[in-house]
Chain A
Amino acid sequence: MAPLIQATGLTKRFGEFVAVDGIDFSVEQGESFGFLGPNGAGKTSTMRMIGAVSPITEGTLSVLGLDPEQQGPQLRSRLGVVPQEDNLDQELTVYDNLMMYGRYFDLSRAVVRERIDELLEFVQLTEKRRSKVDALSGGMKRRLTIARGLINEPDLLILDEPTTGLDPQARHVLWDRLYRLKQQGVTLIITTHYMDEAEQLCDRLVVMDKAKIVAEGSPLSLIEEYAPREVVEVRFPAGVLDGVAGRVEDLAPRTEVLADRALLYTDDAEETIARIATTGLEPETILARRSSLEDVFLRLTGRSLID
């Protein structure tokens, strides 16, 4: 079967500025596909091109077998979009927001009413049906935006930074809902700059940096390919690290010295920790953990994902 999304040499320029620089990727039916990268990497521009609200500058892009440029309305009628910034109508109720949105897709009121019941149940907002959006918490608004994105039973749901700005509990509720959608076979496109989110939700992802794709794979395969199994994080009191950087770098095959701490990449954390003791270095704290996508990103770009 042909991929749901196919992009080759996809480019977006705003005047001189290159937002997306000739990227290639494809997304299969039923897949949950992520774009991981820092702010300004070109994730949102890519989403907007897929969503047929931003014309492509160069390259080719096919979404659901349609050309976003020529068949925009037809394509958008089959997409669900959860934008980075909530753009719900704050003055209207939860119910009215969904009814209004369903009507944009020319669904009959009866059909929309039925779907509103189901979707509010799904995003756990049934009690808030008559509340004004203004009065909802950030997490509830996001869930409502997701429900809104599902009102037309889309073939593809695009989520741009779905949990940015939410507290940890609200994030977990949201992840749980998205995971269920994934299990129901909905194809998800997710952008995020949180590696834990990518690990939780994405079957496959691309890492974006400075308008380009720098790596591609499943979260696990990326970690295996770009980072040894374990990481030892050693923290030093302020100002000490610069002086001992050379000695720290001898402790493991690969190290990253950041402002306040050093990361030692190793296959055996215990052995590395034991070696620290023998060098006479006196870190403030030592923490051993599994490698994450953050480490992959650091390896690929030399920079931290969240500054």
Chain B
Amino acid sequence: MATPIPLRVFESEARVYRRTWRGSMFSSFLSPVLYLAAMGVGLGSLVDQNLPGGVEGVSYLTFLAPGLLVATAMQTGAGEGAWKVMAGIKWVKTYHAKLATPIGIPSLVAGHMLWAGARVLMVSVIFAVIMSAFRVAPLMQSLLAVGPALLVGLAMAAATTAFTARLEEPTGLPLYFRFVVIPMFLFSGAFFPITQLPGWLQSIALATPMFHGVELSRSIVVGTEPAVAWWISVMYLVTWIAVGTALAIGPFRKRLTP
């Protein structure tokens, strides 16, 4: 039986990744350890001293960890949709090479998204394991929180891919990370509740995919009631994935098979 074409794209991405997997895995371990130690334990002890009732009823570390899990997945997803897509379309033209084979545009985009999902999954599972090592929650519960993280990562991968595919020059990418990804990372409820934000910023935070993932993940790990019904958040994230992926196909077609 013939291998579905998106899986052939997935396999090639995996083959490329194999070259750098050690370094990549190492930083996927190191980064949560550093963040949880510095912010969760270090800064968290100050927070906890001043807030005897805890943040939303739990220690700062416990509040932070599930949010940071989703924030990390968000960044990983955005990363998968950025320079790699630019290189495929413009710099190395590896997408052109793929399209000279039975691979077509929809399969190319689907395979790309599958791989982005795999990367987000790797990073999130590692994060969840470390989170439970920090005694935030039992392992099973931490691993369940990977679900919303994966959705957020995919949503960002799709949206970023659609954005990158429209860029003629890579100069837009650093701006995108500086003015979209990093603010989203900081202000979407991972580090502090968005109720601390001024009203208009709260509405923006509410519109980000990350906020919905953070709420879901935190409700799984901490047991808090999410601000929005869980199924609305899930549908919202799935819509981001679907719309982002669909929006990527147009520019891919226009630029790769004019």
CB-defined contacts of A92 to chain B, threshold 8 Å: 15-16, 19
**Contact for B8 among A79, A81, A104, CB less than 8 A:** A104
Q: Is the CB of A90 within 8 A of B19?
A: no
Q: Is the CB of A105 within 8 A of B102?
A: yes
Q: Is B203 an interface residue (CB 8 A)?
A: no
CB-defined contacts of B99 to chain A, threshold 8 Å: 53
Q: Is the CB of A104 within 8 A of B101?
A: yes
CB-defined contacts of B257 to chain A, threshold 8 Å: 53-55
| Secondary structure type dominating chain A contacts | loop
Docked complex Cα distance between A55 and B99 (Å): 13
A residues 22-57 near B (Cβ < 8 Å) are 51, 53-55
**Chain A positions 79 through 109: 1 when the CB is less than 8 Å from some CB of chain B, otherwise 0:** 1010101011111100010011101111000
Docked complex Cα distance between A16 and B93 (Å): 26
Q: Is the CB of B15 within 8 A of A76?
A: no
Q: Is the CB of A87 within 8 A of B104?
A: no
**Contact for A104 among B92, B96, B102, B258, CB less than 8 A:** B102
Q: Is B118 an interface residue (CB 8 A)?
A: no
A-B contact count (CB 8 A): 67
CB-defined contacts of A301 to chain B, threshold 8 Å: none
**Chain B positions 74 through 104: 1 when the CB is less than 8 Å from some CB of chain A, otherwise 0:** 0000000000000000001110111111111
**Contact for B258 among A14, A90, A152, CB less than 8 A:** A14
Q: Is the CB of A85 within 8 A of B12?
A: no
Q: Is A77 an interface residue (CB 8 A)?
A: yes
CB-defined contacts of A53 to chain B, threshold 8 Å: 96, 99-100, 256-257
Q: Is B3 an interface residue (CB 8 A)?
A: yes
Total interface residues on A, using CB and 8 Å? 29
**Contact for A83 among B11, B96, B102, CB less than 8 A:** B96
CB-defined contacts of A72 to chain B, threshold 8 Å: 104
Given the interface pairs A73-B102, A74-B102, the reply to whether A106 lies near B2 with Cβ below 8 Å is yes
**Chain B positions 9 through 36: 1 when the CB is less than 8 Å from some CB of chain A, otherwise 0:** 0011001100100000000000000000
Closest to B97 in A: A87
CB-defined contacts of A99 to chain B, threshold 8 Å: 15
CB-defined contacts of B173 to chain A, threshold 8 Å: none
Closest to B5 in A: A73
Docked complex Cα distance between A85 and B91 (Å): 11
CB-defined contacts of B15 to chain A, threshold 8 Å: 92, 96, 99-100
Docked complex Cα distance between A166 and B5 (Å): 35
**Contact for A89 among B94, B256, B258, CB less than 8 A:** B94
- B-side residues, CB < 8 A to A, are 2-3, 5, 8, 11-12, 15-16, 19, 92-94, 96-104, 256-258
A-B contact pairs, 29 of them (CB 8 A): A51-B100, A53-B99, A53-B100, A54-B258, A73-B5, A73-B103, A73-B104, A76-B100, A76-B101, A81-B100, A83-B93, A83-B97, A87-B93, A87-B94, A87-B97, A88-B97, A89-B94, A90-B92, A92-B15, A92-B19, A100-B15, A101-B97, A101-B101, A103-B8, A103-B11, A103-B12, A104-B101, A105-B102, A152-B101
Top 6 A-B residue pairs of the complex, sorted by shortest distance between their CB atoms: A104-B101, A87-B93, A81-B100, A73-B102, A87-B97, A77-B102
